[in-house]
């Protein structure tokens, strides 16, 4: 009988030997493993670059915040100085206002005193013009309202009557009355030549405006 064997090629034989050789297999495994090794140098370089950029970014933020803080402090100081200057100006204005008010009050008081002096001067001038030469005043009370009480002395009862008529003849006199008239007594109890009387006057206040 005949047996036929398939003729194998040299290429297939070489392949079998290659696969059966443990050294060759070991080399291939090592070669395949080398392909998945981690590249530490490159990774460290990238990490250093990233950290440097991050540090640079943080530094820029820090410098920016520091500059902003200094600007805010400078603005706050400028604002405080402005407020202090305004307060000083307000204080000076307040002192000037107080001085002006005090001066005004003094001026008003002096003006009132001067006006009162002028008014009373006018009144006493009017009183003198309307008083008889035989009548003298010993007491006086009244104000600017125009009502007065005068204690007076005259030479006789007739002079008292004529004095009242003299006041009534003046257009500024509204009322003139004698409340009491009596002859004074001497030390020895005798009658004196003088008559004491109380005179009430109501005068138009316009007398003070002349």
Closest CA to 131 of 177, 175, 168, 163: 163
Alpha carbon distances (Å) from 163 to 17, 40, 97: 172, 136, 54
**CA separation for the pair 30, 132 (Å, rounded):** 154
Q: Which CATH architecture has domain 130-209?
A: 2-Layer Sandwich (3.30)
Name the band, by pLDDT with cuts 50, 70 and 90, for residue 192.
low
Q: What percent of the chain has pLDDT over 90?
A: 22
Q: What is the pLDDT of residues 22-72, one digit of tens each?
A: 444 444 444 444 455 566 777 788 888 888 888 888 888 888 888 888 888
Is pLDDT of 137 > 70? yes
Write down the domain spans for the chain.
10-97, 130-209
């Amino acid at each position: 009988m005949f047996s036929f064997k398939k003729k194998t090629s040299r290429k297939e034989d070489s392949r079998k030997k290659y696969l059966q050789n443990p050294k060759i297999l070991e080399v291939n495994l090592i070669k395949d493993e080398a392909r998945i090794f981690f590249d530490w140098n490159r990774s460290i370089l990238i990490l250093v670059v990233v950290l440097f950029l991050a540090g640079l970014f943080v530094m820029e933020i820090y410098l920016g915040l520091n500059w902003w803080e200094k600007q805010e402090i400078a603005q706050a100081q400028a604002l405080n100085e402005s407020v202090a200057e305004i307060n000083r100006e307000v204080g000076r204005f307040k002192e000037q206002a107080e001085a002006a008010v005090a001066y005004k009050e003094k001026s008003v008081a002096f003006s009132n005193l001067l006006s009162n002096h002028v008014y009373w001067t006018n009144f006493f001038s009017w009183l003198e013009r309307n008083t008889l030469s035989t009548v003298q005043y010993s007491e006086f009370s009244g104000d600017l309202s125009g009502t007065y009480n005068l204690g007076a002395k005259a030479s006789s009862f007739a002079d008292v009557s004529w004095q009242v008529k003299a006041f009534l003849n003046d257009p500024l006199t509204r009322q003139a009355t004698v409340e009491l008239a009596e002859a004074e007594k001497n030390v020895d109890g005798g009658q004196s030549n003088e008559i004491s009387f109380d005179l009430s006057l109501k005068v138009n206040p316009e007398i003070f405006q002349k």
